[in-house]
Chains A and B, each alone.
Chain A
Amino acid sequence: MTRNAEGATVVAASVLAGFGVTLVNFAREQSVDAQTALTFLVFLIAFGGLHLAVRTWAPRATPLLIAPITALTALGFIEIYRLDPVKAGLQRWWMLIAAGAAVAVLALFARSSTTILRRYRNITLLVSLILLVLPNLPTDWGFPLKGLVVNGSRLWIVLDIGFTTLQFQPAELAKLGFVIYLAAYLADHQKALREARRHLGPIPFPEPRQLIPLVLTWLVSILILVSQRDLGASLLLFAGFVLLLYAATGTSGYLVAGGFMAAAGGVASYFMFDHVQRRVIAWLAPFQHYDDEGYQIAQGLFGMGTGSLSGAGPGLGRPDLIPNASTDFIFAAVGEELGFAGTVSVLALFSLVIAVGLGISFRSRDMFRKLLAAGLTFVFAVQTLLIIGGVVRVVPLTGITLPFMSYGGSALVGNLILIALLLRISHEEAT
């Protein structure tokens, strides 16, 4: 695939978004309005702009990333628009902001290299930790940057810039920061960590001192869990980090130990938090607890089952019956209106993004870039697997968003920066 084909695919995916919006409008009003053109243009500006930025600042980057993420964003956007046109309008603004952020990342590294991140790893860690605790700022003080409580959890900050307020989830950026820090740390200490001096039964085990990063990430995950009651984000970071640790060292002991620690954390949180218990109940028996815990999962399954092979059609199903359809359950909404065809397409597109991300890691010669590409892709993959797995009842629901598809600006910004970093690494490693 060439750069020109990438451009053509971006245009095609923008047409898809516009066409989807037209179908939704047609199902609702039997009329076509400016939303079609507006959606098409915003997609073209956001993703076309990213495409042009890659042409300018990362011309040797893989052409296989922007195409699938544009298509995923388009499919998600059609459902967001179908569920709530007002949210869709906001999401369009966020698309422009996120693409702007991604373009800025590409421009920032145009003259240097992503390897400078390795030098600033400690600062990155510090900034990330600050971002993580930022939502714990007072919600009512005079300073323009405040914390915000949404649905009982402190995930948000509000920036009051006079004429309007911006709401943001800093954890979405902190997630990237932690990956950068861990990739840099592991690139530096890789050899020492790989030396397995001890054995636990048949499993080789490193020096206890070398376990510090693992313990540290575990503690960070617990911090997230306790401070924000967000099991999903916590599990996501921890799983991503353990996988990266394993990738860096090849020591399967990390996977085993990490698995035990995650299990311990999971069991403890089951007994500590009733919302975790409710999610386990909903996972095990959604139909028996239909009127209570299981309602959301059951409605998601009803939606996907009713959508069946070809789906109801955009605007013709009832994904609005599923609570949080535009965020956690966007996959079920796609399944209801676009059917099995839609869900399989989504799974294929995510698989492509992940395969390309891991491919970048494979081909990287520089250890930091190799680990950074792997770490970013792992976090992306684990997030995708956890939330889709939750919706289709393979694992308990964790309440995290589906990258590029769910409604939410912060996640879109974080994920497009993640893609920009992968693009940049692929450019730097291309020969």
Chain B
Amino acid sequence: MNGPVRRVAIGVFASFCVLLLAVTWIQVVHADTLKADPRNARPALSERGKERGLIVTLDGTVVAESVVDPMDPRSFVRTYPEGEAFAHIVGYNSFLVGDSGLEDAYASVLRSKRDLTISDLISVILGRDLRPHSLEMTVNGPLQRAAYEALAGQTGAVVALDPKTGAVLAAVSSPSFDPESLLGEDAQAMWDSLLADPESPLSDRATKELFAPGSTFKTVVTATALDTGEADPSTEFADPLEYELEGSTGTISNFNGGFCEDGDTVTLLVAFVRSCNTIFADLSVRLGAEDIGITVAALGFNTDLDFPWTVPLATYPVEDLVDDPAALAQSGIGERDVRATPLHMAMVASAVANQGFVPSPYLVNRVFDADGNTVESTEPLSLGRAMAPATASILAQMMERVVTDGTGSNATVPDVRVAGKTGTAEGAGDGPHAWFIGFAPVEDPTIAIAVLIAGGGDFGESATGGAVAAPIAADLISLWLKGTQ
């Protein structure tokens, strides 16, 4: 009689074994996949309301902080006391729209290690510190704030580097947004309206957008010319009214439409100081895409940067230019398909300031624990040498002449030797992209800067790098040198 019952029992317990296998599959084997599924809100929900580490600037300005939620004393809310000026680099940690900037890139550092009651208890017994770690940025608070204010709502960006180390002193994109507006219950609506804004305030123009560098790229072409010995500052060039593009009916003329100097001959120095397109189109073709390509590659174009987030590749398409002298000529004045982020152009200025060494830019100086002890600090890194020291020194002098006698006169700072190069690239929309890249003081540079006003800014069609971008650079250099002396 017990035979059938026993057989049913075997069936029942076999079924229990199947359930056990299924539970093992779900909770052990497959657990991480289920946990990581984007539709599974639990991991994000468990982060919500937990304390996160601080983000501070090198001078001690607090730019991100978790404070006790006034509505619920057991949980925390994130605040960004410096708001718009730091929005793109600091980013946000939003439950509804996700993370960005350093909040995203350093999420595992900033996150609270507090987890489960029992495992926390064990950690406390073992003496582990559960408090979240914090970040110290390389950024200088007052400089960052001043840069944001100097852009005055115009579409553009400012990047300032320590030319010797690559430490980012300021990285500002404008227009910006209030990161705290993306934390609340109406974050999604706010996000949607920011996305729909034609000025795209969410875009980080300093480190994540590419622009044609225009005449600021002439520094690169000049470096190649000096390095290869093809020309020196006193080398004479013919001074035509227009440069005729090879294999094309098009021409390149100077910015004001006239001769560079007097229609006879002109030196490289004068052509550089006056930013003459005709001469640099000619020089670019004489140098060839391969030689310029060597300088460009050494400056970190076409290679990934080690930055907290992906910086789009600065491009100079050597292969496309080898057999296309017309495009090569246009590329020599930073047009056509040449592209770089303001961050990258600040690196170019740094290389000139730093005897040809290209610093690897970095944004986080150190990670520290809740007691302020350093957990991890960044060692400055060089990407290598992009030009000979003599080239860098001659180029620096030429760039100083741009500010003293040329297109960059608006970058003049009293009693400071400023070197720079302006650029006015054909932009999209209302006006040109107005650039200024430079560094100061020339004798011992402590700041390299790139200023970009995209689409002409408040000047619209009449904008030039010298008129729009150079004064901003002058103000910031002046502020920086006052602060460091």
Please give the residue numbers on chain A whose beta carbons come within 8 Å of chain B beta carbons, in ascending order.
23, 26-27, 30, 243, 246-250, 287, 290, 298, 301-310, 312-313, 316-318, 321, 335, 339-340, 343-344, 347, 350-351, 354-355, 358, 361-362, 367, 370, 374, 378, 381, 385, 388-389, 392-394
Which residues of chain B have C-beta atoms less than 8 A from A298's C-beta?
Answer: 39
Cβ–Cβ contact B4 & A247, under 8 A: yes
Q: Which of A301, A351, A378 contacts B26 (CB 8 A)?
A: A301
Chain A to chain B: the 10 pairs with minimum beta-carbon distance, closest first: A305-B34, A392-B22, A302-B40, A340-B27, A308-B31, A306-B42, A247-B4, A250-B4, A305-B31, A381-B12
Which chain B positions have C-beta within 8 A of A381?
Answer: 12
Among residues of B, the one whose C-beta sits closest to the C-beta of A295 is: B39
Check A354–B12 contact: CB distance below 8 A. Answer: yes
Closest Cβ neighbor of B119 among chain A residues: A310
Contact A318–B117 (Cβ < 8 Å): no
Q: Which residues of A contact B41 (CB under 8 A)?
A: 318, 321
| Chain B residues within an 8 Å CB radius of A30 | 74
> Is there contact, CB below 8 Å, between A378 and B8?
yes
B9 touching A312, Cβ below 8 Å: no
A250 B3 Cβ-Cβ under 8 A? yes
From the candidates A247, A305, A343, A362, name the one contacting B35 in the complex (CB within 8 A): A305
Chain B residue, CB-CB nearest to A304? B26
| Given A305-B26, A313-B118; A249-B4 close (CB under 8 Å) | yes
Contact B35 A374 (CB under 8 A): no
Which of A250, A306, A316 is close to B117, meaning CB atoms less than 8 Å apart? A316
Structural contact, A392 and B19, CB atoms closer than 8 A: yes
A250, B6: Cα distance in complex, Å: 11
User: Shortest Cβ distance from B330 into chain A, in angstroms?
Assistant: 51
B125 interface contact, C-beta 8 A: no
Q: How far, in Å, is A368 (CB) from chain B's closest CB?
A: 12
- Residues of chain B with a CB closer than 8 A to A354's CB: 9, 12-13
| Selected A-B contacts with CB under 8 Å, 9 pairs | A30-B74, A243-B8, A248-B4, A249-B4, A309-B31, A310-B118, A358-B8, A358-B12, A374-B8
State the CA gap A26–B118 with chains docked (Å): 12
Q: Is the beta-carbon distance between B15 and A312 smaller than 8 angstroms?
A: no
Residue with the greatest number of chain B CB neighbours at <10 A, chosen from A290, A309, A392:
A392
Q: Is the CB of B26 within 8 A of A306?
A: no
Beta-carbon contact of B27 and A351 below 8 Å: no
**With the chains together, A367 CA to B2 CA distance in Å?**
11
Asked if B24 and A340 sit within 8 Å, CB to CB, the answer is: yes
State whether A385 touches B4 (Cβ < 8 A). Answer: no
B42 and A318 within 8 A (CB)? yes
Instruction: State whether A385 and B12 are in contact (beta carbons under 8 Å apart), knowing that A250-B3, A305-B34, A321-B41 are contacts in the complex.
Output: yes
- Would B20 and A344 count as touching, CB distance under 8 A? yes
| Chain B 23-48 near chain A by CB (<8 Å), digits 1 or 0 | 11011101111110101111101100
Tell me how far the C-beta of A245 lies from the nearest C-beta in chain B, rounded to whole angstroms: 9
Please, which residues of chain A bring their CB within 8 A of the CB of B8?
Answer: 243, 246-247, 358, 374, 378
B288 CB to closest chain A CB, in angstroms? Answer: 56
Decide: B39 and A290 in contact? CB cutoff 8 A: yes
Whether the pair B27, A362 counts as a contact (CB closer than 8 A) is no
CB-nearest residue of chain B relative to A370? B1
Known A-B contacts: A247-B8, A392-B22. Give 14 more (CB < 8 A): A30-B74, A250-B1, A301-B34, A305-B26, A309-B27, A310-B119, A316-B117, A321-B42, A340-B28, A347-B19, A347-B20, A355-B9, A362-B2, A394-B18
Give the Cβ gap from A304 to chain B, nearest Cβ, in Å: 5
A370 CB, nearest partner CB in chain B, Å: 7
From the candidates B22, B42, B119, name the one contacting A394 in the complex (CB within 8 A): B22
| B16, CB-defined interface residue at 8 Å | yes
Q: Is the CB of A302 within 8 A of B16?
A: no
Contact B42 A317 (CB under 8 A): yes
Q: Does B196 contact A (CB under 8 A)?
A: no
A307 touches B5 (CB 8 A): no
**A23-B117 CB under 8 A given contacts A340-B24, A370-B1:** yes
A306 CB contact (under 8 Å) in B12, B34, B116, B118: B34
In the complex, the answer to whether A347 meets B30 with C-beta atoms within 8 Å is no
**B3 nearest in chain A by CB position:** A250
Q: A26-B117, A304-B23, A340-B23 are in contact. Are A385 and B35 (CB under 8 A)?
A: no
The answer, among A303, A339, A351, for a CB contact under 8 Å with B16, is A351
Across-interface contacts of A248 in B (CB, < 8 A):
4
- Write out the residue numbers on chain A whose beta carbons fall within 8 Å of the beta carbon of B2: 361-362
Complex Cα spacing A287 to B30, Å: 14
CA of A301 to CA of B35 in the docked complex: distance in angstroms?
Answer: 9
In the bound complex, CA of A318 to CA of B44 (Å):
11
A362 and B4 CA atoms in complex are apart in Å by 10
Task: Give the residues in chain B near A304, CB-CB below 8 Å.
Answer: 23, 26-27, 34
| Most chain A C-beta atoms within 10 Å of own C-beta, residue among B33, B39, B41, B42 | B42
Within 8 A of A (CB), among B105-144: 116-119
Chain A residues in 8 Å Cβ range of B22: 389, 392-394
Chain A residue contacts of B23, Cβ below 8 A: 304, 335, 340, 343-344, 347, 392
Q: Are A347 and B28 in contact (CB under 8 A)?
A: no
Contacts of B19 in A (CB 8 A): 347, 385, 388-389, 392, 394
Please indicate the chain B residues that have their CB under 8 angstroms from the CB of A385 in the complex. Answer: 12, 15-16, 19
Contacts of B9 in A (CB 8 A): 354-355, 358
Smallest CB separation, B43 vs chain A (Å):
7
Query: Residues 220-232 of chain B: 1 if any A CB is under 8 Å from the residue's CB, otherwise 0?
Result: 0000000000000
Question: Quick one: which of B16, B27, B43 has the most chain A CB within 10 A?
Answer: B27
Which residues of B lie under 8 Å from residue A374 when comparing CB positions? 5, 8
Bound complex: CA A294 to CA B317 (Å): 50
A40–B26 CA distance with the chains assembled, in angstroms = 32
Chain A residues with CB under 8 Å of B15's CB are: 385, 389
Q: Using Cβ atoms and an 8 Å threshold, which residues of chain A touch B45?
A: 318
Contact assessment for B34 and A351 in the assembled complex, using a CB-CB cutoff below 8 Å: no
For the complex formed, measure the closest distance between the CB of B4 and the CB atoms of chain A, giving whole angstroms.
5
Residue among A246, A305, A309, A339 with the most chain B CB within 10 A? A305
Q: 1/0 contact trace for B390-410 toward A, CB 8 Å?
A: 000000000000000000000
The chain A residue sitting closest to B1, CB to CB, is: A370
